[in-house]
Amino acid sequence: MINFKTIKAILIDCALGAYSILVTYKVVYEKLLQDIRYADFSWNEPLLALGIGAVLGLVFFGWEGFSVGKRVMGIYNPPFGQPFIKAPYKFLSLLAIALTFVAGLHYSQVSVYEFLSESGLEGARKIFIALATPNFSIFEETMFAAIETIYMAFIATVFSLPFAFGLSFFAARNLMKANAFWRLLYVVTRFVLNVTRSIEPLVWAIVLSVWVGIGPFAGMLALCVHSVVSLAKLYSEQIETINEGPMEAMIATGAHPIQVIWYGVVPQIILPFLSYTIYKWDINVRMATVIGLVGGGGIGTLLMQYQGLAKWHEVGLIVMVIAFIVWVMDYSSAKIREAIK
């Protein structure tokens, strides 16, 4: 019987087969066994692999002990406790994982030689000593940059609040099921949020530093965009867990939808929202540091400057201050969140 599940199972086998063959040929054979530095690439190779994969998929279709796809889709259900030797699909999936591991080692250029080379170890010794003996003469400069970072993160969180709050109601499934219009609005809101969230704040910082110029403002805006979407997601998930009883009771009194939200929903979510917001500020302080590296201002930018000049004693001090701030923010945000539970 051919149905949607069988087609998916065949596609899985086909893709897995093609992938294994391609990795075996390009990495294991060409790079590791033949040691070809600049291997030729032509699109025929993946196409051929895909062809073999398709043949394998069809062969495994009739030979279900070998079919990973059928097992994954639940079409092939071997008896429980079947010995490993009688389940070739287990070998095949392990083979694919092993191939991925080998290819991963190759592509990350893992090298024990580099890690333990004499000059390398010497460099490491020097930099660790420098980092461990920070230069306190730039303490003031570092402190001011740190203050910039903390306030930047705070403003980003505050600006993002109303937007995230408003959006979260439109992204909560349980509030948006009244009719087709609201369901569509829910889907659109979720889609926009997901797309925006999948763009890292680092990328936003690069884009915005072109727009408003390098500095804390660009960094703040980048954090703000990211905070809006991530808070909206956290908030809306919180809204989805509420008890709908009070909402129903408010509807039954003849209240307007805005009143239903205000009395039936908001009192149930206000504390979790506050808790998420404080957590977000904490995260924003850390992110602000990273964003500073691409010109978002604050202590991150300072770190990048001294790192560029290879002034490792100064870098040591900055790293120390960052660690201290992160620890303080982490500790206090945890305490505050505990207290308002």
Partner 1 sequence: MNILEVKSLYKTYPNGCQALKDVSFEVAQGEFLVVIGLSGSGKSTLLRCINRIHPASSGQIIFEGQEVTGLKGKELRKLRSQIGMIFQHFNLVPRKSAMVNVLTGVLARVGIMRSVLGLFSKEDQTEAIEKIKIVNLAGKEDVRADNLSGGQQQRVSIARALMQRPKLLLADEPVASLDPATSNSVMQYLEKINKEMGVTVICNLHFLSLVRRYATRVIALKGGEIVFRGTPEQITEEWFKTIYGEDAVEVSVH
Residues of this chain that interact with partner 1 (CB under 8 A) are 243, 245-246, 248-256, 258-259, 262-264, 267-268, 270-271
Whole-number minimum distance, CB 181 to partner 1, in Å?
Answer: 14
Q: How far apart are CA 335 and CA 341, in angstroms?
A: 10
**Pair 303, 319: CB distance under 8 Å:** yes
Question: 20: part of which helix (H) or strand (E)?
Answer: helix 4-23
117 vs 259 by CB, closer to partner 1: 259
Work out how close the CB of 245 gets to partner 1 at its nearest, in angstroms, rounded to a whole number: 4
Cβ pair 190, 168 in contact under 8 A: no
Q: Write down the least CB distance from residue 272 to partner 1, Å.
A: 12
Least Cβ distance, residue 246 to partner 1 (angstroms): 5
68 touches 89 (CB < 8 A):
yes
Decide whether 12 or 242 has the Cβ nearer to partner 1: 242
What the block records as the tokens of 258 is 């805005």
Question: Which one, 87 or 255, has the nearer CB to partner 1?
Answer: 255
Minimum Å gap between C-beta 257 and partner 1 is: 9
CB nearer partner 1, residue 125 or residue 177: 177
Pairwise CA distance, residues 288 & 303, whole Å = 12
For helices 312-339 and 139-170, the axis angle rounded to 10 degrees is: 40
The three-class DSSP label of residue 215 is coil
**Count of residues in the chain:** 341
Least distance to partner 1, CB of residue 268, Å: 6
Select 66 or 273, whichever has its Cβ closest to partner 1. 273
Q: How far apart are CA 253 and CA 64, in angstroms?
A: 60
Task: Please name which of 147, 186, 145 lies closest in space to residue 314, comparing C-alpha atoms.
Answer: 145
Closest to partner 1 by CB, 63 vs 182, is 182
